Amino acid sequence: MKNESLEFFHQAFGQLAKTLPGAELPWLRAARRNAFEQFDALGFPTTRHEDWKYTNVSAIGKRPWHFAPQRTGRSDDGDLRRIVDKLVLDPAGHRLVFVNGRHVPRLSKLNGLPHGVFVGSLTRALREMPQRLEAAMVSQTHADGFAALNTAFLADGFAVLLPPGEVIDRPLQMLFLTDEAGLAAQPFNVVLAGARSGCAIVEHFVGLGDDAYWTNAVTRIVADEQADVQHYRLQQEGSKAFHIASVAAAQQRASCLTSHAFAFGAALSRTGIGTSLNAANAQATLNGLFFVGGRQHVDHHTRIDHAEPRCTSREYYRGVLDGAAHGVFNGRVVVHRDAQQTDTHQANHNLLLSRDAEIDTKPQLEIYADDVKCTHGATVGQLDEKQLFYIRARGVEERMARALLTYAFARDIVERVRIDSLRGRLENLLLMRTPEGERIKELL
């Protein structure tokens, strides 16, 4: 996008910069200015950029978005509570609720957190402990214009700060609801997990209407020595929404990061997930599933950097596409020169349910060390005719046989989820999207 077409964003930044949370902090003001200058130079990525070759985001840059919500949610508070109650995974668990990009305390709930643990909104963290956030929030360079724009306009999000040795037993559900047309929400989330600490976090994005809006989310995770962080993303944005997301993790010695990304909604979504294994014996597992139809476009880019020796990574992504949907998967694993005795495996499998569905998949391995164990692979295809024949030979009609195979293909990723309530929610979502889902449910 040419710089002259960014004038609208210049005007919005000029109007809002002094009113955004943390505007009184010199380091954050400088970070915002630096980020907007980078956005001004970068603009939005185009299909001429290799990493965006198959994902055209020009429609985002052409719309007159507003960056501050005009209301906090639906006028009927009872209606909003009923929606939250339906979406909550554990009524007795921890949750933070954000409506149109802003934290809503009356809908949130935290129960008995360990001593010294902070779980709350980014705006509150900036008021109470800004010095603990500075290193994670200040970035001199941004991967693309979306990441830069997020820093420039960030207004809220969640912060999880775990002191060494503290473990949160119950999952933390971070629920982002949007029902405002034309809103460009820029949530910034940060997880700082001290040595030997642990937590499970579920980011859940839900659209409450059919209007066009845009979520541009960034999450940064720092896992210190022997920390264990489980990170889940469930994307159920509205049918006309745009969803752009970036998750960046940095891992220290013997830390463990498990990432699960599920994409069902939005007209166009793009999720980038990356982690850097910066010390020996770190482990990373990246799981993902997208299940889309109609004319939806869904893109997942992942990157795992093996920077030090004796680290392990696993990556399993699957896609199910129907109608004229378009999927993109790019998984890049870089084994750096000093990363001897690396053990990494990557697999991407995709199922096309119609003639018009399309997938572009590109698994990548870059190896600069010589004592490694590295494998990768990808498949694209339709349902296996031999498996169909086997099921139909046992008296199952063709439509039901196809539905069973589709459900089983997608469920392989869902079964990797370690939170029972979330796994059950995902299984129901699969059944809703699978033909004959109600009949399959009766059989289970």
| pLDDT, one tens digit for every residue, the chain (444 residues) | 445 468 889 999 999 999 999 999 999 999 999 999 999 999 999 999 999 999 999 999 999 999 999 866 565 678 899 999 999 999 999 999 999 999 999 999 998 899 999 999 999 999 999 999 999 888 778 889 999 999 999 999 999 999 999 999 999 999 999 999 999 999 999 999 999 999 999 999 999 989 999 999 999 999 999 999 999 999 999 999 999 999 999 999 999 999 999 999 999 999 999 999 999 999 999 999 999 999 999 999 999 999 999 999 999 999 999 999 999 999 999 999 999 999 999 999 999 999 999 999 999 999 999 999 999 999 999 998 899 999 999 888 999 999 999 999 999 999 999 999 999 999 999 999 988 888 888 777
Backbone φ and ψ of 68, nearest 5°: -125, 130
CA distance 81 to 150: 28
Angle made by CA atoms 233, 28, 156, in degrees to the nearest 5 = 35
Q: What pLDDT does 75 receive?
A: 56
**Partners of residue 246 on adjacent β-strands:** 218, 272
Contact 355, 323 (CB under 8 A): no
pTM of the shown model: 0.95
Angle made by CA atoms 113, 237, 211, in degrees to the nearest 5 = 130
Instruction: Specify the DSSP element, H or E, that contains 175.
Output: strand 172-178
- pLDDT per residue over 100-158, tens digit each? 999 999 999 998 899 999 999 999 999 999 999 999 888 778 889 999 999 999 999 99
R_g of the chain computed on alpha carbons:
22
DSSP secondary structure letter of residue 213: -
CA distance 162 to 168: 9
Q: What pLDDT does 76 receive?
A: 65
Q: What pLDDT does 440 receive?
A: 87
Q: Quick check: helix, strand or coil at residue 312?
A: strand
Distances in whole angstroms, Cα of residue 285 to Cα of each of 274, 276, 333: 11, 12, 12
CA distance 147 to 247: 10
